[in-house]
Amino acid sequence: MSKKRTAEITGESLLDQVNSPEDLKKIPSQDMPRLAGEIRAFLVRHVTETGGHLASNLGVVELTLAIHTVFSFPEDHLIFDVGHQSYVHKILTGRKDRFDTLRQNGGLSGFTRRAESPYDCFGAGHSSTSLSAALGFAEADYLQGKKSFTVAVVGDGAFTGGMIHEALNNLKPGRRLVIILNENEMSISKNIGRFAAHMARIRTRSSYYKAKNFTGKVLRHIPLIGKPIFRGMLAMKKSFKNALYGSNYFEDMGLYYLGPVDGHNYTTLVAALQEARNYSGITVVHVKTRKGAGYPEAENDPNRYHSVRPAAAPKRKGPTFSCILGRELTSLAREDDRICAITAAMCEGTGLNPFREAFPSRYFDVGIAEEHAVTFAAGLSASGFKPVFAVYSTFLQRSYDQLIHDCSLQNLPLTLCIDRAGLNPGDGPTHHGIFDVSMLLQLPRTRIYAPVTGETLAEALRLAISENGPEWHSICSIRYPNAEPDDIIRRHFFPDGKVSLGWHKDWADGDKPDAVVVTYGTIVRQAIEAGRILKERGKNLGILLMERLPEDAADADELKDAIPDTDTRIILLEEGVYNGGLGERLRPAFREYHTSVLAVKDPFVTAEKDRDIWTCAGISADDIVRECEEN
């Protein structure tokens, strides 16, 4: 009796037997639905515990099984767009036993990561990069005469990003590239009728391609009339197909198109992928999947289960900075009909739902296109409107040229609400928000706010929109973390409950701290903890917190005036990169003091087991204490 048959009789888990793609290939096709069910149960059990992207991974179970059945990785190359839907791929490639470490310190990444496995040929974390990278792999194989295939799994949402279309524009015939278009939300093609579904089934059979190829060869070799007849047949076929279900974007580009295919039917998926593998050129396999498939809660509410919080994460007691931003912006927009809100496919994440509901005509979701968002905002600004672009810090990096060329150079006002500022221990280095300050400090007429309370965030937003004009600043930025305002910070700097936006020191006039930390943002929490430790050791640490970053020499002099005398030790603390950061900029102004800078040592730092991200980055409370106690 076979091992697989024994497993079926005894009820032994099929998933326990799969530790590599080679193990998967030994599973009979009729057992794949059962294996898919076990994988879904595995995902739900682990991801709801560790946190992570659940709905998208539940939607690609059969698709990932089929990909690993048909292709041979890592000899072939598999690239996921964004990489957040690669969990099943990780399970099948020897990382199943480490899944309790997903998104944990020192554990598995929530995205593909080259250093993690040879099966992760290309790391990702931002959208719309997959096809450009895949084309690079395919071209490299072509140049070296290799027969490897490159497979790119691209969600339909990624097609709102310009890079996908730039890559499509550069495809060349003869490259062994398979593009899997995973349509799980946006409708790219028309609804499929029974006839269209029947045609899709025919097109995925190898006999279809062989007959088509054979007919073409025969007709093209008929002297004089063969080629015109063949071209006429192709034109007639295309007209007939377009009349039934519209012109196909990919076929119009000369790509071989298969589908749409049911993304939850393993047998059909394997047939389509085998046909793509047999084709000599670039193939698009269009699959239709459902986010959250097999888990009713996620199917019914995929947005809620797109990214779930760890089970151990404390429940939020109040609104996050993002929610406060959305609420306050909506309130300001009621008073000024020139205020517009822009997001790059992150409405809920940036808290803009209230604005979208209240002012749909002034709300713009441009898709995954941060570059376009900034230049679009510049156009609105040039026409007299007041654009506010809410964007994650890590994604703002994609629009740096537009900030320089289209906004700053032309002195066009823009308000940036920079969400997810600071280190991101869960998502890791692809989502660290630590470059925005160094980027923006290089631009003239730029103001940066770093509020630490909900009230000061609201005040910063009001000032940014009102002050942000050609005679004031071109770009006003407000940066804040993915968190609730911290009560400890609030009580430390506003003990009397009177909250105001500005620069705050935590020592009384006439006192002389042994050292002073000069900082901004919620990393100040580490300085508060360092002050507690030093107090127990008989030392007094002062903190100077800036909710508006200094812009010129006059601002630096104002900071220096707050510090008692030049023998005070100064520590410039920053949850950002050193090069080009505020600490590096301010250090010359404090040359007469004993001054040091604590900034993120490695911009691509990851949290290690038993060490939090701030310790690994060298900006923790313990690092501050050590800096203060050095002679």
Q: What is the CA radius of gyration of the chain?
A: 28
Q: Which of 586, 517, 504, 506 is nearest to 553 (CA)?
A: 586
577 and 606 in contact (C-beta within 8 Å)? no
Per DSSP, the residues of 211-251 read HHHHHHHHHHTSTTTHHHHHHHHHHHHHHHHHHHH---HHH
Q: Is 4 a catalytic residue?
A: no
Q: Is 48 helix (H, G, I), strand (E, B) or coil?
A: helix
Classify burial at 236, counting beta carbons within 10 Å of its beta carbon; exposed 0-12, middle 13-18, buried 19 or more: exposed
Classify burial at 170, counting beta carbons within 10 Å of its beta carbon; exposed 0-12, middle 13-18, buried 19 or more: exposed
**Amino acid occupying residue 316:** R
Peptide bond preceding 33 in cis form (omega within 30 of 0): no
Q: Is 113 a catalytic residue?
A: no
Token readout for 319 is: 């609104």
- Cα distances from 51 to residues 113, 385, 554, in angstroms, run 18, 40, 46
Contacts of 495 (CB under 8 A, 6+ apart): none
181-209 b/e with 16+ CB inside 10 Å = b? bbbbeeeebeebeeebeebbeebbeeeeb
Q: Is 316 a catalytic residue?
A: no
> Going edge to edge, which strands form the sheet with 77-80?
77-80, 150-155, 177-183, 283-288, 256-262
Which one from 291, 362, 505, 548 is the annotated catalytic residue? Answer: 291
Which one from 103, 113, 175, 398 is the annotated catalytic residue? Answer: 398
Contacts of 508 (CB under 8 A, 6+ apart): none
- Cα distances from 618 to residues 583, 600, 602, in angstroms, run 14, 6, 9
Contacts of 76 (CB under 8 A, 6+ apart): 148, 149, 150, 151
For the chain, the 3-state helix, strand and coil shares in percent, each to the nearest 5, are 45, 15, 40
**Amino acid occupying residue 209:** Y
75 and 148 in contact (C-beta within 8 Å)? yes
Token readout for 345 is: 């496919």
Contacts of 425 (CB under 8 A, 6+ apart): 105, 607, 612, 613
Which one from 183, 328, 370, 455 is the annotated catalytic residue? Answer: 370
| Number of neighbours of residue 119 by Cβ within 10 angstroms | 21
Token readout for 277 is: 């593998």
First to last CA, the chain: 75
Contacts of 412 (CB under 8 A, 6+ apart): 378, 381, 382, 406, 470, 474
Q: Which helix (H) or strand (E) holds 363?
A: strand 363-365
Catalytic positions, written as ranges: 291, 370, 398
